[in-house]
Structure 1
Amino acid sequence: MSILDVLLLISIISIWSILAVNIVLVIAGYIHYLQTAKKTPPALPDKVPFVSVMVPAHNEGIVIVKTVQALLKFDYPKDRYEIIVINDNSSDNSAELLARVQQLNPERNLTIVNTDNKTGGKGKSNALNIGLKQAKGDVISIYDADNTPESGALRILVGELMSDDKRGAVIGKFRTRNKNATILTRFINIETLSFQWMAQAGRQQLFGLCTIPGTNYVIRRWLLEEIGGWDVKALAEDTEISFRIYRMGYRIFFQPKAVTWEQEPQTLVVWFRQRTRWVKGNIYVILKNAHFLFERAGRPIRFDLLYFLSVYFLLMTSLVLSDSVFVLSVAGAVSSSLKGFSNTLWVLAIVIFVVSTFVSISTEKGEMTFSNIIIILLMYVTYSQMWLAVAVYGMVGYIREQVFHQQAKWYKTQRYQ
């Protein structure tokens, strides 16, 4: 067996090992879905906690009014929550639009915090830390500026949080508001339902683990203060703070019945920049916490660390090698005795990908369509490869920033009408 065959065999084993883990997560996630669907979320306690709903916003004039209006319509007791919008060094008309909304709702607890280029404009974590200083609530809730949460979302999240003292945070589900805008948003819609939320549900079912997303979650204020707020160096501040919560001995609970609808990138350029930010942010979190793999204190996050390490390093390397051998063999530049074996596994991987993804989206009303089967097939040969390009580009960018001591920049996702 040649060196090329050995490397290809290692890459095949690596890819299928991670694929097997994801299949297990999908099965467990589906079981979680079946169990959750039958349960009614806990009611709010008699002493309803005061909640500070915080929205970081940088140049979000296109979407911010709709978001605030949705937050004002929560069925949570009106006198038991406030809304704090951190208008973070915006250069558009956000300040004027927010002031108008504030004037139209004088009876509501709506606060606008306007930062400048000295205090703000330094990313989401910094904006959230600024908002936390203004917040009055014992519970903090976070929503992105492009969100339109359903009216019951906050009530469900807080009810779940207060039902268990060991829960440090509770997360809900986000759906794609503009899923029919482009083929890209259709890809993202399926990605969100299968590879993000079904994986969250699976980890919850098997290990009692899930990761805070950037939006639609609640967290105990004292816990935030105990861990020092959000890490301003973290582009993936949600993953980073999740790890710290677990290391403190608290849990994060996933409640899919708390739903928000958010706007996703409609063009490839915007998507690529957003996902690159995610990759850089997660690599930072992985490296920051890597030493916990070998320490007792890291036991609560060990699975997630291994999973992220496998996906961002082992899987990426294996896919690059496998794809390179495939392209070179087609071109006649190299020859491998494992070519037939590799191609058979490749076809099997496609079948498993399509079936497991379709099972995942079957949990959502209106998603079990023939057109979505076609979209899933297209995702395997296009969207998945795009993610590989993002991962490679993000890793190279992260290494370059570290070598030249450059500050990671927060890229703001473009919004649409």
Structure 2
Amino acid sequence: MGDSNWPQVVLIIFLLVCVFLGTTPVLNTALQFLVLPFHAVKNHYRHAAPYFPNVAVIVPAWNEALVIGASIDRLLTLGYPPERLRIYVVDDASTDDTPAVVLGKAAEHPGRVFHLRRDVGGEGKAHTLNHGISRVLAEPWAEAILIMDADVIFARDSLRKMTRHLADERVGAVTAYIAEGSEDRNYLTRFIGVEYIIAQLASRRAQNVLGAIACLAGGAQLHSRANLEAIGGRIPTGTLAEDTMTTFESQLKGRRMVFEPHAKVYAEEPRSLDALWKQRLRWARGNVQLTSIYKRLWFRPSRTHHLGSIPFGLSWFSILLLPAWMLLASFSLLALLLMDTNIDEVAFRFTWIVAACTYIFSMVFSVQLDPAHGLRSWREALLFPGVGAMLVMAIAIFPRTSGLAMTDLFGNTSEQSRFAFTILLYLWGPVSMLGAWVARLVERLPGGRFFTGLLIYFFGYGSLLCAITVDSYIKEWRRADASWVKTEKVGRVVS
């Protein structure tokens, strides 16, 4: 090749590297599931032992009259020594019947259920929790503090499965498996159920192996007294991701976080796309904020903690920058196509074959981690990436002719239609994210929920999460209102 062609060669190599980098989230998922089996031999169980400390349960509640009574009743029936369990409901200036319900339970169970009232509320979950934590830590009784949401229901044996890890003084906190537990499930709650299997039973097991936990579940986090006192005796405020920041601060103090997959907690999740979008937007914006707060932490290994390790950083940024990785790969493929290099098909097939193999491996593995949810949500597990993505995977694995010289979906064989169809294949990632935005708009129309479900099945639940992440970028860049938005719960949880 002549010297005159070297700029083009350099550009092609650069674009191929971009395509490869764009597969970072897929490779991270594959690594996570390859690490997962090691949890059978590298876990905390050898250091755990039967242990029953005095546990103060702190339940933040704002207008939770529909769910708080059932939550208290279930807590009182946990398989845990009754004399070692106290329940503190922090009433965040509720305007419904929450105070009456809690006071009624306190009267029925004196010395076990307590009502703590905040006269001025609306500051967010962290402030509500801190009101209860300060009250609990002011007395010497509590040896551990369980932080939960007002609507969740703990399986009867869950608490004692969590406390056994606190027998090891190096452990600062334990988190449980939050499972989607709505009685009347719809397509969206089933998708969430599959997501939680992947994000918790798979991801957090892998994090146990690698030694760093990204986040203690907000609905079920058990702290030792010493751990809360080490981080100042309060939950950090000033961010939308107080759960994650608490997790980071605890590990920076040198204490170990443990995920207990066998402690099961049932939660009610959003049933509408708009409600899910608002919830996940808060989570995503919180992660963007924390990435900046801990900017000196990333990829700096430490002997005190593993938050600065390369595997943890890779995992964090694979999720945080997932839309950016997707755009990088898609537009690099498009550039290779426009350069007429004849290498774009190879890069395309590599990208989507790797994605297909990872998808099949991870889904088959995931549904076995929680067979009950996997059986109920088999359709959502199968269609998690979306029908459109599955078609793209099929084309990548089984191309009808070389060079993607194929007919389009409408049977056209002209050069222009084949070229347009190839562009659609290469840009499917950003197209699917746009489809998720459209699905949210459609839901607001009369009868729109049915068609919204069809759109999510077609464009994929993963693309929906990516679209929400993009929205979080935009909201943070615009410095939009970041007030804490409560997810409405009406007591649909069953266990």
Which interval holds the TM-score relative to the shorter structure? 0.7 to 0.9
Per the alignment, residue 317 of structure 2 pairs with: 309
Matched, 1:14 2:88: no
Gap regions ≥5 residues in structure 1: none
Among 227, 230, 236, the alignment partner of 2:235 is 230
Identity of paired residues, percent?
24
**Deviation string, structure 1 residues 277-330 (Cα, Å, up to 9, x no partner):** 0001111111111112376768531133443234213x321213445678x89x
Q: C-alpha distance in 1, partners of 2:117/2:338?
A: 59
Query: Residues 20 and 329 of structure 2 are in contact (CA less than 8 Å); yes or no, is this contact kept in structure 1?
Result: no
Q: C-alpha distance in 1, partners of 2:289/2:358?
A: 31
Task: After superposing the two structures, state which structure 1 stretch, 260-269 or 196-205, moved more.
Answer: 196-205
Query: Residues 179 and 196 of structure 2 are in contact (CA less than 8 Å); yes or no, is this contact kept in structure 1?
Result: yes
Among 43, 50, 55, the alignment partner of 1:43 is 50
Matched, 1:152 2:152: no
CA 1:388 to 1:294, structure 2 compared with 1: closer, same or farther past 3 Å?
closer
Query: Residues 33 and 201 of structure 1 are in contact (CA less than 8 Å); yes or no, is this contact kept in structure 2?
Result: no
Query: Residues 210 and 253 of structure 1 are in contact (CA less than 8 Å); yes or no, is this contact kept in structure 2?
Result: no
Secondary structure at the counterpart of residue 86 of structure 1: strand
Per the alignment, residue 474 of structure 2 pairs with: 396
Q: C-alpha distance in 2, partners of 1:249/1:258?
A: 24
Among 103, 109, 112, the alignment partner of 1:109 is 112
Task: After superposing the two structures, state which structure 1 stretch, 304-313 or 217-226, moved more.
Answer: 304-313
Among 94, 97, 103, the alignment partner of 1:99 is 103
Among 350, 353, 370, the alignment partner of 1:364 is 370
Q: C-alpha distance in 2, partners of 1:157/1:221?
A: 14
CA 1:338 to 1:409, structure 2 compared with 1: closer, same or farther past 3 Å?
farther
CA 1:25 to 1:296, structure 2 compared with 1: closer, same or farther past 3 Å?
closer
Query: Residues 11 and 319 of structure 1 are in contact (CA less than 8 Å); yes or no, is this contact kept in structure 2?
Result: no
Matched, 1:280 2:278: no
Q: C-alpha distance in 1, partners of 2:29/2:94?
A: 40
**Number of aligned residues:** 401
Task: After superposing the two structures, state which structure 1 stretch, 15-24 or 145-154, moved more.
Answer: 15-24
Secondary structure at the counterpart of residue 237 of structure 2: coil
**Deviation string, structure 1 residues 26-77 (Cα, Å, up to 9, x no partner):** 2322442588799896212xxx421111111222222221111111111211
CA 1:121 to 1:39, structure 2 compared with 1: closer, same or farther past 3 Å?
same
Secondary structure at the counterpart of residue 306 of structure 2: helix
CA 1:63 to 1:280, structure 2 compared with 1: closer, same or farther past 3 Å?
same
**How far off is 1:361 after superposition?**
1.9
Per the alignment, residue 290 of structure 1 pairs with: 295
For residue 122 of structure 1, what is the amino acid of its counterpart?
Answer: E
**Deviation string, structure 1 residues 64-121 (Cα, Å, up to 9, x no partner):** 2111111111121111121011111222221222222223x2334111112133xx31
Per the alignment, residue 326 of structure 2 pairs with: 319
Q: C-alpha distance in 2, partners of 1:221/1:194?
A: 30
Task: After superposing the two structures, state which structure 1 stretch, 360-369 or 170-179, moved more.
Answer: 360-369
**How far off is 1:378 after superposition?**
2.1
Alignment TM-score, normalising by the size of structure 2: 0.74
Among 174, 181, 184, the alignment partner of 2:185 is 181
Per the alignment, residue 408 of structure 2 pairs with: none
Q: C-alpha distance in 1, partners of 2:67/2:339?
A: 52
Gap regions ≥5 residues in structure 2: 1-7, 387-459
**How far off is 1:384 after superposition?**
0.8
Q: C-alpha distance in 2, partners of 1:234/1:7?
A: 38
Q: C-alpha distance in 2, partners of 1:281/1:92?
A: 29
For residue 148 of structure 1, what is the amino acid of its counterpart?
Answer: I
Q: C-alpha distance in 1, partners of 2:237/2:250?
A: 17
For residue 487 of structure 2, what is the amino acid of its counterpart?
Answer: T
Per the alignment, residue 410 of structure 1 pairs with: 484
Task: After superposing the two structures, state which structure 1 stretch, 31-40 or 256-265, moved more.
Answer: 31-40
CA 1:93 to 1:339, structure 2 compared with 1: closer, same or farther past 3 Å?
farther
Task: After superposing the two structures, state which structure 1 stretch, 10-19 or 138-147, moved more.
Answer: 10-19
**How far off is 1:373 after superposition?**
4.6
CA 1:358 to 1:92, structure 2 compared with 1: closer, same or farther past 3 Å?
farther
For residue 100 of structure 1, what is the amino acid of its counterpart?
Answer: G
Among 62, 70, 73, the alignment partner of 2:74 is 70
Query: Residues 44 and 258 of structure 2 are in contact (CA less than 8 Å); yes or no, is this contact kept in structure 1?
Result: no
Secondary structure at the counterpart of residue 291 of structure 1: coil
Query: Residues 8 and 321 of structure 1 are in contact (CA less than 8 Å); yes or no, is this contact kept in structure 2?
Result: no
Query: Residues 363 and 382 of structure 2 are in contact (CA less than 8 Å); yes or no, is this contact kept in structure 1?
Result: no
Query: Residues 26 and 360 of structure 1 are in contact (CA less than 8 Å); yes or no, is this contact kept in structure 2?
Result: no
Q: C-alpha distance in 1, partners of 2:93/2:11?
A: 53
For residue 179 of structure 2, what is the amino acid of its counterpart?
Answer: R
Query: Residues 33 and 363 of structure 1 are in contact (CA less than 8 Å); yes or no, is this contact kept in structure 2?
Result: no
Task: After superposing the two structures, state which structure 1 stretch, 280-289 or 13-22, moved more.
Answer: 13-22
**How far off is 1:266 after superposition?**
0.8
For residue 200 of structure 2, what is the amino acid of its counterpart?
Answer: Q
Secondary structure at the counterpart of residue 52 of structure 1: strand
Query: Residues 19 and 330 of structure 2 are in contact (CA less than 8 Å); yes or no, is this contact kept in structure 1?
Result: no
Query: Residues 74 and 152 of structure 1 are in contact (CA less than 8 Å); yes or no, is this contact kept in structure 2?
Result: yes
Query: Residues 179 and 185 of structure 1 are in contact (CA less than 8 Å); yes or no, is this contact kept in structure 2?
Result: no
Secondary structure at the counterpart of residue 257 of structure 1: strand
Per the alignment, residue 385 of structure 1 pairs with: 463
Task: After superposing the two structures, state which structure 1 stretch, 211-220 or 77-86, moved more.
Answer: 211-220
